[in-house]
């Protein structure tokens, strides 16, 4: 099945890209293996960093063109598309700036005489399987550190993002990377499984659904390959106290509508202390419903379409099922094509599907919590554990609650604060491993001990 550009805002189809043949897959894997041996293991971190820095510069030089591609492919509002290109460039620059420190020998304190160091070196070719919701950011946080290390990258992008995938491959080639250092793949899931099994490929990183993650991990496990998985979340937004409820409610709106609600670490469940619940709900609903889903090219767009009609239909089914099971639809719930209006549900209980599901779109579930303990119980009451948000004016409470939240990330009194130096990842069914920061650069490396007398 070919990769096809389909504009979710209009339904129009554009360019089509054929799936690779078996011969093309072999050529790609062989090129990545060769590039690792002839480039990744023979160049210095500083030399590789110069190429990554040039790739960042090309992102900035081509930001308008790159933004236009993902507005068309997955309906991202244009301001968000431009911001994503900039953030991807920031990530690449971060790794270029810190390449020497990332690859520096780690001296160990040892018992007895002599010395011991941990020396980091590349593993080889890696497969990245990336999602449609952040076509540039996701690639930067995988490719950036691994190219610094000397690993080479085989990149399977989502089938609805073929044009932006091609544009990224061209950027890395134009930056001066050798053929095979970064290779774009138009492949099927079966072909991806074959690549994971190939002995020339040494690891795989996937961002996607739980099902996709389980399938990839199964193949990787059978073939003894390292995996990093980021599998989504249903992040809690806990409000225990605030000295500015208007600002807190607006932060909640911003956190829910980021990327039209299609962000793995977007706030999705809003857990509010009993004494603040009613006032928060009123302000939160007012803020959400003041936003309309519009053409993503509109200069004032905050909320665009979902990535596809199918995605919007799935969200609609989830909302309808929640209501059928007893949840209260406070606002929204209407779909028009791929556009879905901001929606708020209350009254969700543990026996409903909605209690444990991820709503990947502008749908929020608001809970009332009697106290701190109940808020934590609700927050931890899902199989996910990616990010979380906590609002409180009590510093001791912030420390206490942050320790008890089962998540890979806790943001206290702020939202939308991702940054290249901050590690990203989750626990439970939200995934395995970390991306970004120094931890993200320490996943696919050989940490070799060198002990000398």
Mind listing the domains of the chain with CATH numbers?
Answer: 3-231+429-452 (3.40.605.10), 235-417 (3.40.309.10)
Q: What percent of the chain has pLDDT over 70?
A: 100
Tens digit of pLDDT for each residue in 345-394?
999 999 999 999 999 999 999 999 999 999 999 999 999 999 999 999 99
Through-space distance between the first and last CA atoms of the chain, rounded to whole angstroms: 59
Does the pTM surpass 0.95? The reply is yes
Catalytic, out of 72, 84, 230, 435: 230
Report the pLDDT averaged over residues 339-349: 98
Report the pLDDT averaged over residues 42-48: 98
| pLDDT at position 158 | 96
Task: Based on the residue annotation, tell me whether 264 is a catalytic residue of this protein.
Answer: yes
Residue 444 has pLDDT above 90, yes or no: yes
Task: Based on the residue annotation, tell me whether 230 is a catalytic residue of this protein.
Answer: yes
| pLDDT at position 73 | 97
- Report the distance separating Cα 428 and Cα 406, nearest Å: 8
Q: State the Rg of the chain over Cα.
A: 23
Got the DSSP string for 126-153? EEEE--SSSTTHHHHHHHHHHHHHT-EE
| pLDDT at position 22 | 98
Residue 141 has pLDDT above 90, yes or no: yes
Which residue, 397, 427, 431, is CA-closest to 412?
397
Tens digit of pLDDT for each residue in 61-102?
999 999 999 999 999 999 999 999 999 999 999 999 999 999
Tens digit of pLDDT for each residue in 10-21?
999 999 999 999
Task: Give the up-direction half-sphere exposure of residue 125: CA atoms within 13 A in the CB hemisphere.
Answer: 26
Tens digit of pLDDT for each residue in 210-232?
999 999 999 999 999 999 999 99
Q: Are 196 and 218 in contact (CB under 8 A)?
A: no
| pLDDT at position 133 | 97
Which residue, 162, 239, 160, is CA-closest to 398?
239
Q: What percent of the chain has pLDDT over 90?
A: 99
Tens digit of pLDDT for each residue in 240-252?
999 999 999 999 9
Residue 402 has pLDDT above 90, yes or no: yes
Report the pLDDT averaged over residues 167-177: 98
Tens digit of pLDDT for each residue in 285-325?
999 999 999 999 999 999 999 999 999 999 999 999 999 99
Per-chain mean pLDDT for the chain: 97
DSSP class of residue 407 equals S
| pLDDT at position 1 | 76
| pLDDT at position 2 | 86
Residue 111 has pLDDT above 80, yes or no: yes
In three-state secondary structure terms, 188 is coil
- Report the distance separating Cα 7 and Cα 417, nearest Å: 29
Catalytic, out of 73, 84, 264, 316: 264
Q: Are 23 and 174 in contact (CB under 8 A)?
A: no
């Amino acid at each position: 099945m070919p990769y096809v550009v389909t504009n979710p805002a209009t339904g129009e189809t554009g360019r089509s890209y054929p799936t690779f043949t078996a011969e093309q897959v072999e050529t790609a894997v062989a090129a990545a293996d060769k590039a690792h041996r002839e480039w990744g293991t023979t160049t210095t971190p500083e030399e590789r960093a110069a190429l990554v820095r040039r790739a960042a510069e090309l992102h900035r030089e081509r930001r308008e063109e790159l933004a236009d591609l993902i507005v068309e492919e997955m309906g991202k509002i244009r301001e968000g598309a431009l911001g994503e290109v900039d953030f991807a460039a920031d990530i690449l620059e971060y790794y270029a700036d810190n390449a020497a420190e990332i690859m520096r020998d780690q001296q160990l304190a040892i018992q007895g005489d002599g010395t011991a160091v941990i020396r980091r070196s590349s593993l080889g070719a890696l497969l990245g399987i990336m999602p449609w919701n952040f076509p540039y950011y996701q690639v930067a946080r995988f490719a950036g550190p691994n190219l610094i290390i000397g690993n080479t990258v085989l990149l399977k992008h989502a089938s609805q993002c073929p044009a932006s995938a091609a544009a990224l491959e061209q950027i890395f080639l134009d930056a001066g990377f050798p053929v095979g250092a970064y290779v774009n793949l138009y492949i099927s899931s079966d072909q991806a499984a074959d690549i994971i099994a190939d002995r020339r490929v040494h690891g795989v990183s996937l961002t996607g659904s739980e099902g996709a993650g389980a399938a990839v991990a199964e193949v990787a496990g059978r073939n003894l390959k390292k995996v990093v998985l980021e599998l989504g979340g249903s992040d809690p937004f806990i409000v225990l106290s605030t000295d500015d409820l208007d600002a807190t409610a607006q932060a909640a709106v911003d956190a829910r509508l980021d990327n039209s609600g299609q962000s793995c670490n977007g706030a999705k469940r809003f857990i509010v202390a009993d004494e603040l619940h009613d006032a928060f709900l009123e302000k939160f609903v007012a803020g959400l419903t003041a936003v309309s889903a519009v053409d993503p090219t509109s200069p004032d767009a905050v909320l665009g379409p979902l990535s596809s009609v199918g995605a919007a239909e799935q969200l609609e089914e989830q909302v309808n099922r929640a209501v059928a099971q007893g949840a209260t639809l406070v606002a929204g719930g209407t779909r028009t094509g791929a556009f879905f209006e901001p929606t708020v549900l209350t009254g969700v209980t543990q026996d409903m599907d909605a209690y444990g599901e991820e709503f990947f779109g502008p749908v929020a579930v608001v809970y009332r919590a009697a106290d701190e303990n109940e808020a934590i119980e609700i927050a931890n009451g899902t199989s996910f554990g990616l990010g979380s948000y906590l609002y409180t004016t009590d510093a001791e409470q912030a420390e206490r609650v942050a320790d008890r939240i089962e998540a890979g990330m806790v943001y206290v009194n702020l939202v939308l604060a991702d940054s290249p130096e901050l590690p990203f990842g989750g626990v439970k069914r939200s995934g395995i491993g970390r991306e970004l920061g120094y931890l993200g650069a320490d996943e696919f490396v050989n940490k070799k001990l060198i002990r000398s007398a």
